[in-house]
C-alpha cells in the first residue's frame, strides 16, 4: 500500500528531506521502529550516535543529515531510543557522488548502476542495549523501506572500532577470501590513509575468529550476499576502520529475504 510522506508542517532542515515509508506500525516484542519527523527526533538520533561512537554526551551531526531519512528504534514502554540509522535515497548510480561514502572511496564504477540505491549510515545501538531483537526490528524497518521504494542496491560503510588493523587481521583475511566486490563495481582508492588488506594479507584466515571480530552490521551484510572494498579506510576522526559494503537486492538468498520480510511484515 502507498506510504505517506512526512507531514508538511514540518521539520527544520535537520529533520531530513528524503521520502520515507511510514514505519510507525512496525512493532515487534518490546520495540517499535519509526521514521523521524521532527528536528527533535533527529537531535535524539544525533545524541545516541555521539554516545555510541564517542562514549560521551554530545551530538554527532554533519551536512548529510538534512538529506537523509532517519529511522529510530525505540522501546515501546517508555520510548527509550535504543538504535538509529539514516538512509540516503539515490535514483541511481549517477547520484552516488552525493553519498557520504563518496568522500572516502572512488565510486566511479558504480555510476553505471542503473537502479535506485539507498546508502545506510550512522547505524548504532545504545551502549546498554544488548537484546538481539533490536537488530531484527532495525533490519525489518530497512526491509520495509527497500521493498516500498524499489531499491536495487543497499550500500554504506561498515566500521571496526579503532584504527589499528592488527586485531582484525583474521576478519580482513576472511573478507579477502570470500567477499570482495565484483570487478565491475569495485570501489577504488581515494582516502589518504588506507589498509590495503587484499594486497597485503597472504595467510589463510581463521574463519571462526575472523567472523567473531566483525561488527554485527557487517556480518548481516555478508549474510545477505554483500561484498566489500579491497581496502579499509583509516578514519581517525571517528576512530574507526571501515570498508565500503554493497548488497545487490536481487542477489540476496531467498531464505534470507523471507526472514527479513517476516519481520518487516
The per-residue pLDDT for range 24-36, each reduced to its tens digit, is 458 888 999 999 9
Average pLDDT over residues 66-81: 96
- What is this structure's pTM? 0.88
Strands in 9-75 per DSSP E? 26-28, 31-35, 69-75
Half-sphere exposure of 112 (CA within 13 A, CB side): 7
More confident residue, 241 or 12: 241
Q: Lowest-pLDDT range, 42-51, 199-208, 227-236?
A: 199-208
Kindly list the structural domains of the chain, giving each domain's residue range(s) and its CATH number in brackets, ordered by start.
Answer: 1-90+117-151 (3.40.630.30)
15 has pLDDT over 50: no
Per-residue pLDDT, 5:
29
Mean pLDDT throughout 227-235? 98
Residue 17: predicted pLDDT:
44
Q: For residue 25, what pLDDT is reported?
A: 59
Point out the least confidently predicted range of 15-19, 59-63, 135-139, 148-152: 15-19
Q: What integer pLDDT is reported at residue 11 of this predicted model? A: 34
Average pLDDT of the chain, as a whole number: 90
124: CB partners within 8 A, 6+ apart? 48, 49, 52, 53, 83, 84, 85
Amino acid at each position: 500500500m502507498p506510504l505517506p510522506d512526512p507531514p508538511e508542517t514540518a521539520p527544520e532542515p535537520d529533520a531530513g528531506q528524503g521520502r520515507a515509508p511510514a514505519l510507525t506500525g512496525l512493532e515487534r516484542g518490546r520495540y517499535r521502529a519509526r521514521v523521524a519527523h521532527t528536528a527533535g527526533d533527529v537531535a535524539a538520533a544525533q545524541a545516541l550516535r555521539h554516545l555510541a561512537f564517542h562514549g560521551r554526551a554530545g551530538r554527532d551531526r554533519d551536512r548529510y543529515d538534512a538529506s537523509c531519512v532517519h529511522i529510530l528504534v525505540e522501546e515501546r514502554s517508555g520510548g527509550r531510543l535504543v538504535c538509529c540509522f539514516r538512509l540516503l535515497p539515490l535514483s541511481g548510480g549517477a547520484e552516488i557522488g552525493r553519498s557520504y561514502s563518496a568522500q572516502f572511496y572512488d565510486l566511479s564504477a558504480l555510476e553505471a548502476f542503473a537502479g535506485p540505491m539507498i546508502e545506510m549510515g550512522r547505524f548504532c545501538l545504545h551502549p546498554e542495549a544488548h537484546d538481539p531483537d533490536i537488530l531484527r526490528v532495525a533490519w525489518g524497518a530497512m526491509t520495509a523501506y527497500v521493498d516500498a521504494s524499489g531499491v536495487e542496491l543497499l550500500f554504506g560503510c561498515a566500521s571496526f572500532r579503532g584504527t589499528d588493523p592488527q586485531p582484525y587481521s583474521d576478519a580482513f583475511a576472511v573478507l579477502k577470501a570470500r567477499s570482495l566486490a565484483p570487478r565491475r563495481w569495485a570501489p577504488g582508492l581515494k582516502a589518504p590513509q588506507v589498509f590495503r588488506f587484499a594486497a597485503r594479507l597472504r595467510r589463510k584466515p581463521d574463519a571462526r575468529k575472523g567472523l567473531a571480530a566483525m561488527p554485527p552490521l557487517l556480518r548481516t551484510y555478508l549474510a545477505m550476499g554483500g561484498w566489500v572494498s579491497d581496502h579499509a579506510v583509516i578514519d581517525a576522526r571517528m576512530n574507526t576502520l571501515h570498508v565500503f559494503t554493497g548488497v545487490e537486492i536481487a542477489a540476496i538468498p531467498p531464505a534470507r529475504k523471507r526472514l527479513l520480510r517476516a519481520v518487516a511484515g
